[in-house]
Structure 1
Amino acid sequence: MKISLKVGMILIASFLLLIGAACSNKKDAVQKVRLAEVTRSVFYTPQYVALEKGFFKEEGLDVELKTTWGGDKTMTALLSDAVDIALVGSETSIYVYAQGTSDPIINFAQLTQTDGTFLVSREKVDHFDWEMLKGTTFLGQRKGGMPQMVGEFVLKKHGIDPQQDLELIQNIDFGNIANSFASGTGDYVQLFEPTASVFEKEGKGYIIASFGEESGHVPYTTFMAKETYLKENEETVEKFVRALYKAQKWVEKSSGEEIAEVVQPYFEDSDIETLAVVIDRYKNQGSFAEKMTLTKEGWENLQAIMKEAGELPERVDYDKLVNTNIVEKVMAE
């Protein structure tokens, strides 16, 4: 009887240990997150910092990053559940909403808060004035995307009609714009970094203005997900945002060179010196959204830019496609 009791107690203890181990494993289990970025850009530096510095891993996340090259492809991946979270321009969530959906795409954290492109001239300009663009050929970005819409918004701000006052070229694929300019197309071009700085270094062009400084704050690139994903994976998304917030704060307090050394693996064709210059340029104009909160003012500015470009399908209330609860919770910790 005593032996049976002893065996029974051992079995119960073993069972409790197994349950404890299972609960512990479940608690410590790494959660996989499939993330799609619309393009590979130094503009997204804090995201790469979160990956390289291990901030996602610290939160128990295994983030799988893929570059989907284009807003339409990125949104298709998100809508088809090929990815969980997308980093893309907020305008895409409006396009999807306007088409009608029972599971809207929600912007939950902002990575960049200005445009990331620069005006590059073929010839060196000592005293630039936007009036100089009149009568010239301007090589812009893809129609309907944020870079082109911001570009037109800034031109109009300076009294230039993009359709009447210059020859606007916007039918060249994003990946070929820089090469087209380098081969002789256009007097001016709208470029992202580090291409703009590389061109300047090689004498192919000269940075003369920042579209980000001219257009003001706008939710240029944000992290977004389906509404159902946010509801079903709130804890995971909270960890995701916490890691990004750590990265944003680290970028804010670090030098361009320190940051460049961390993100260089994502830009193997760029040297540390060029990356540092580019990162400092973005930091100085306040491009990285340290607080990550997509504001109502920014949302309205976005729609004003879209409307000005003739690309706003319908005005959408801030509360319908923006959820700042998670970001605010993380920042309050």
Structure 2
Amino acid sequence: MKRWLSLSLAIGLGTMALLSGCASQTPAKIRIGEVTRSLFYAPQYVALSKGFFKDAGLDVELTTTSGGDKTMTALLSDGIDVALVGAETSIYVNQQGAQDPVINFAQLTNTDGTFLVSRNKVDNFSWDQLKGKVFLGQRKGGMPQMAGEFVLKKHSIDPHKDLNLIQNIEFQNIATAFASGTGEYVQLFEPTASQMEKEGIGHVIASFGKESGSVPYTDYMTKKSYLEKNKESIQKFTSAIYKAQQWVATHTPKETAEAITPFFPNIDAAILESSVKRYLEQGSFAADPILKEDSWNNLQAIMESAGELKQRADYAKLVDTSFAKAATEGR
């Protein structure tokens, strides 16, 4: 009888241990809301396609939330756990006196991602050639428009006085509007800019990313309360992003283009490759997820120039680099 009880107890304990082990291996779910589907976010798609999140024990669900306001609303209402959006949105939330501030914990892009596209071929371009022209701009208060205005002002152009500036077209419709004949110049992301060139609709003549300098253009952020309750998952997430950033940095544009193709099924392979190459050459993909204070300050200088910043936001309050630093150190 004792022997039978001992055997039963051993089997029972073994079963419990097995079940416990299975439970501990259940992937932690993280819901990401990306502000738009953009090749600019190539490392994120590499992390998904190469299984880096899965390898880290995460079940990542990606949703395109289409717009900064919608993305932040989804985050604040718990519709998503993590937002991939411009760092300026966390500052806007802070300016509104949020009790549960939104914290930037990992940087994905390191420059503005837009290019100046001209309807006509331009030889020997100079920025003053834009004066008096119809310019199809971006949404007021968003990073593309603010970075664009910052660059224009650097070249002594007042975008609201020296240009015929159009800003009443939704982000997702800007390229279509330009293709339909609206505007002489437009500010576009890749791969749309290259597609315009291929179709003979426009010509890339300058980079706003090169002109505006290092800036935390797109970051991963979450509410402080979520961050404090899910530190282990956020660390795994950040480490997976860093792994993807390193992968992109050490592989050819063609290899990266192939890895992200499932996320851009309607884009020509050659266009994907050339777009990745263009972003790599100007340092648009952040080499690591650490959001540096000088970049944060440059962001706020751009916001101040656009008249969108009430007062400077405290880097120490809205940025937590502990997860990014641990990722780069292999912790």
TM-score greater than 0.5 by the shorter chain: yes
- How does the TM-score come out when normalised to structure 1? 0.97
CA shift at 1:252, angstroms?
0.5
Structure 2 partner of 1:7: 4
Mapped contact 1:95–1:313 kept (Cα < 8 A): no
Alignment match of 1:153 (pick from 150, 155, 174): 150
Alignment match of 2:288 (pick from 271, 286, 291): 291
CA shift at 1:248, angstroms?
0.6
Structure 2 partner of 1:317: 314
Deviations 1:240-298 (A, max 9, x none): 11111111111001111111111111111111100000000000000001111111001
Structure 1 partner of 2:233: 236
Instruction: Please give the alpha-carbon distance, in whole angstroms, between the structure 1 residues aligned to 2:23 and 2:285.
Output: 35
The total of aligned residue pairs comes to: 330
The code of the aligned residue for 2:203 comes to: Y
Q: How do residues 263-282 of structure 1 correspond to structure 2 at under 5 angstroms?
A: 263-282=260-279
Q: Does 1:90 align with 2:87?
A: yes
CA shift at 1:21, angstroms?
1.4
Greater Cα shift, 174-183 or 49-58: 174-183
The code of the aligned residue for 1:329 comes to: A
Where in structure 1 are there 5+ consecutive unaligned residues?
A: none
Instruction: Please give the alpha-carbon distance, in whole angstroms, between the structure 1 residues aligned to 2:294 and 2:40.
Output: 22
Alignment match of 2:61 (pick from 47, 59, 64): 64
Which contiguous aligned blocks of 4+ residues in structure 1 show a shift greater than 6 angstroms? none
CA shift at 1:32, angstroms?
1.1
Where in structure 2 are there 5+ consecutive unaligned residues?
A: none
The code of the aligned residue for 1:284 comes to: E
Question: Helix, strand or coil for the counterpart of 1:230?
Answer: helix
Instruction: Please give the alpha-carbon distance, in whole angstroms, between the structure 2 residues aligned to 1:31 and 1:271.
Output: 35
Instruction: Please give the alpha-carbon distance, in whole angstroms, between the structure 1 residues aligned to 2:10 and 2:322.
Output: 43
Question: Helix, strand or coil for the counterpart of 1:35?
Answer: strand
Alignment match of 1:48 (pick from 40, 45, 57): 45
What is the aligned-residue RMSD (CA, Å)?
0.9
Alignment match of 2:179 (pick from 175, 179, 182): 182
Alignment match of 2:135 (pick from 106, 115, 138): 138
Deviations 1:164-183 (A, max 9, x none): 11111111111111111111
What percentage of aligned pairs have identical amino acids?
A: 59
Deviations 1:90-144 (A, max 9, x none): 0000111111122110000000010000000011012110010011111111111
Structure 1 partner of 2:324: 327
Q: Does 1:20 align with 2:17?
A: yes
Instruction: Please give the alpha-carbon distance, in whole angstroms, between the structure 1 residues aligned to 2:54 and 2:138.
Output: 36
Q: Does 1:111 align with 2:108?
A: yes
Q: Does 1:308 align with 2:319?
A: no
CA shift at 1:329, angstroms?
0.6
